[in-house]
Amino acid sequence: MNITAKQTYIEADKTLNIVYQNILTEYKTDTAFIEKLKTSQRLWIQFRDAELDMKFPKENKGYNYGSVYPMCVSYYLKSLTEQRTQTLKEWLTGIEEGDVCKGSVKLK
């Protein structure tokens, strides 16, 4: 179960990296955006790690995670990673015209 869970996280992470690389390619001429994207991704990784530490504190303070701990960690990382992937996909799929708050997201 632990191995299967880890593999699902690895696959989610691969998908995230593909989406991220596609955004870098799609917006390569917008250097200001690319710089902000990279900053955002670095901060998201810090957020992801902090969320994981909040869910499963390293200090353990009386929590007994048991043998399923690696599985639980992998599934939580998978969930967070899939959420981030969905957020980033908006820059590739675009938004409908008329959204006055589109920011740097391209139109469909």
**CATH code, 88:** 1.20.1270.180
Q: Show the domain range for 47.
A: 2-93
Q: Is the pLDDT of residue 34 over 90?
A: yes
pTM as predicted: 0.90
* pLDDT at res. 62: 57
CB 74 within 8 A of CB 9: yes
**Per the domain annotation, does 102 fall within a domain?**
no
44-71 mean pLDDT = 87
> How far from the centroid of its chain's Cα atoms is residue 104's Cα?
19
* pLDDT at res. 105: 87
CB 39 within 8 A of CB 20: no
Instruction: Name residues whose C-beta falls within 8 Å of residue 1's C-beta, 6 or more positions apart in sequence.
Output: 68, 71
Reported as a single tens digit per residue, the pLDDT across 55-65 is 988 776 656 78
Tally of domains within the chain: 1
* pLDDT at res. 102: 84
Half-sphere exposure of 10 (CA within 13 A, CB side): 7
